[in-house]
Structure 1
Amino acid sequence: MLTYHRIQSIEDPHFPALHQLLGTIFPPEEVLAYELWKEPLLDPSIHVYVALHQGQVVGATEYRYYPQLRVAMTDFTIIGQAGLGIGRFLLRQREKDLQQLAKASGTESIGMFAEVYDPFRAQIHEFGGVSPMNPIVRREVLSHIGYKKLNFPYVHPSWDHEGNAVSELDLCFLPADEEQSELAASLIATFLETYYAALPNKPQQWLDMVETLKSKQAVELLPL
C-alpha cells in the first residue's frame, strides 16, 4: 500500500531520500542543492509529496497552483521503482489535491504546464535511474495523459543557479478542454516570469524568449 506524504521541511526524515532520488533521476543542472530547498519547502503554495511504500520513499511529485492565472504546474513526477503503480498513484493524488486547491481559491483550472525532455535533442538518454523514468518513456506518458507541446523554441534557466540556458526540453500544457488548440502567449509569458522569479540569474536566451512571447497573440498546441 502506498501513502501520500507531504514534505514541508528539509528536517522531514524522508527529505534526504527524496533529494537522493532527485539526483538519481535528473541531471545535476536540474536539481536544486540540498540546503536551498529550505525556503521553498516553507512556501505553502509549493506542494511536495512523496509516495511511501513500507516506510520508504519510492516516488515523489511537486506541483503548484496559480489561482490568479488559473493554471497549475507539475515540477516533477518521480517513479523510483517499477511494478508498484507509483505513477498512477501520484497522478490521482495530485489531481485530487489540485481540484481542492482550485475550489478553495474560488477558481476553475484551465490546465497544467509541465516541462519534458526531448530525447532526440538531449545529449544523453540514459539518465533516469529506472526504466519508467527514461526520457522517451516520460514523454510518451505525458502524451497519453493529454499534454500537448507548446509550439515555440523553449529554454529555461538552470536550477543550479549558474544562469545557464537549458534547451533540451519542451514546455507542454494539459488543457482542461481537450479540443483547445492554442494558448494565449501573454499567459505563457506571465506564468514563466512568475514560476522562475525565484531564480536570480536568467540567461539572455530566456529573457529574449519571454519578450518574443509577449509580442505574440497565441501559441499553437501540438501533439506531443
Structure 2
Amino acid sequence: MEYIQINSINDPMFARLHKTMQDVFPPEEVLEYELWAEPLKDPTIRVFLVVQDDEVVGVTEYRYNKELNVAMTDFTIIVKEGLGVGPFLAKKRYEDLMRLAQEHNLDLIGMFAEIYDPYRMTDHSFAGIKVMDPFVRREVLSHLGYMRLDFPYVHPAWTNEGEAVNHLDLCFQPFKENIHSLKASFIRDFITGYYSVLSNKPREWNNMVADLEKRDDIQLKPL
C-alpha cells in the first residue's frame, strides 16, 4: 500500500478523493470541491490517500495546531475491508505527526476527533461500507485510546448553511500520561479556530461555545 499526500485540487488524485468522500459521508460533512484549494496549501493540514494496485482503499485528513500543541483527526475513510487499511492509516498518521512535531519543535499533548454516537442517530449506512459503521468506528477509536469529552457537542455543517450537525461526541486521545480532563477554554480555543473558515454558525454551536466559557474543566470519559 502507498501513502500518498494530496496538496492541490489540481492533483488528478484529488477528484478521486472528493468523490470517495461524497460517496461515504452525508452532504453536510463534505466541503465543496473548490473550497479545498486553500486548505490544501496549508502545511499544517495533511491529506493522504491509501492506494493499492491503483485503487483508492483509504483516505485520511488530519492537522496540527502549533499554538495549542494539539492535533485533530478530521476524517478517516476505509473503503475496503480485509486489507489492514485501518492499522496502516493509524501507523502512518502517527509517524507523520511525530516527524512534524520534531521538525517544528512541537510537544503534542494529544489529538481531537469527532465521532458519531450511533445510539443517538438513525442512519448508519455510510455507503454500505460495514467498517465505516459508527458502532465499529467508535470501538476502533476507543481501542486507539480516544475518550469522550463530557459536554453536549454539535458542529456547524460544512455546507456553511448555518445548520447544526448533532449526534456527535468530541473526543480526545492523550499523548501524555495522567490527562483526565481538558480546560474548557482550551477546547473552546481549538474548536473556534478549527471552524473559523465557516462564516455561518448555527445558534446551537454559538450556545455551546458560550457554555464552554462558563466552565472550568471538561472530564474525559470512556467511549
Structure 1 length as normaliser, TM-score?
Answer: 0.96
- Residue in 2 that maps onto 1:154: 153
**Retained in 2: the 8 A contact 1:122–1:168?**
yes
CA displacement at 1:127 relative to structure 2: 2.0
1:7 to 1:129, Cα distance in 2 relative to 1, 3 A:
farther
**Aligned runs of 1:96-115 on 2, under 5 Å?**
96-115=95-114
Find the aligned partners of 1:66 and 1:35 in 2 and give their Cα distance.
24
Question: For 1:68 and 1:177, how far apart are their aligned partners in 2?
Answer: 17
Q: Cα–Cα, structure 1 residues 80 and 144, in superposed 2: closer, same or farther, change >3 Å?
A: same
* 2:205 counterpart letter in structure 1: W
Q: Deviations over 1:139-158 (max 9, x none)?
A: 11000101000000001000
Moved more, 112-121 or 170-179: 170-179
State the match for 2:214 in structure 1.
Answer: 215
Alpha carbons of 1:16 and 1:83: their partners in 2 closer, same or farther (altered >3 Å)?
Answer: same
Q: Is the 8 A contact 1:113 1:174 kept in 2?
A: yes
Deviation at residue 180 of structure 1 after TM alignment: 2.0
CA distance in 1, matches of 2:129, 2:122: 18
Give, in angstroms, the shift of residue 177 of structure 1.
2.9
1:193 and 1:73 mapped to 2: Cα distance?
A: 13
CA–CA distance in structure 2, aligned partners of residues 202 and 172 of structure 1: 21
Counterpart CA distance in 1 for 2:45 and 2:57 is 20
Cα distance in 2, alignment partners of residues 55 and 178 from structure 1: 40
Aligned twin of 1:125: 124
Q: Which position in structure 2 is the counterpart of 1:64?
A: 63
Q: Does 1:90 align with 2:89?
A: yes
Instruction: State the distance in 2 between where 1:170 and 1:41 align.
Output: 26
Is 1:175 paired with 2:178?
A: no
154-163 or 29-38: bigger deviation: 29-38
Q: How many residue pairs were aligned? A: 223
**Mapped contact 1:112–1:173 kept (Cα < 8 A):** yes
Matched residues in 1 for 2:44 and 2:177: separation? Answer: 27
Distance in 2 of aligned mates of 1:67 and 1:220 = 23
Provide the C-alpha distance between the structure 2 equivalents of 1:154 and 1:178, rounded to a whole number of angstroms: 25
- Alpha-carbon distance between aligned partners in 2 of 1:140 and 1:64, rounded to the nearest angstrom: 22
Q: Runs of 5+ in structure 1 lacking a partner?
A: none
In the TM superposition, residue 64 of structure 1 has moved relative to its aligned partner by 0.5
Confirm or deny: 8 A CA contact 1:149 1:173 kept in the other structure. Answer: yes
Q: How far apart are the structure 2 equivalents of 1:17 and 1:129?
A: 18
Return the alpha-carbon distance in structure 2 between the equivalents of residues 128 and 115 of structure 1.
19
**5+ long unaligned stretches in structure 2:** none
Partner of 2:16 in structure 1?
17
Query: Could you say which residue in structure 1 is the equivalent of 2:196?
Result: 197
TM-aligned CA distance change 1:171 to 1:13, over 3 Å: same
TM value normalised by structure 2: 0.97
Deviation at 1:102, TM superposition (A): 1.4
Tell me, in whole angstroms, the C-alpha distance in 2 between the residues paired with 1:139 and 1:34. Answer: 28
Amino acid of the structure 1 residue aligned with 2:44 = S
- The 1-side partners of 2:104 and 2:217 are apart by 26
2:51 corresponds in structure 1 to 52
Question: 1-side partners of 2:171 and 2:124: how far apart?
Answer: 20
CA separation in 2, counterparts of 1:21 and 1:151? 32
Post-superposition Cα deviations, 1:50-85, rounded to whole Å, max 9, x if no partner, equal 001012211011000112101000000110101111
Give the residue type in structure 2 aligned to 1:140.
E
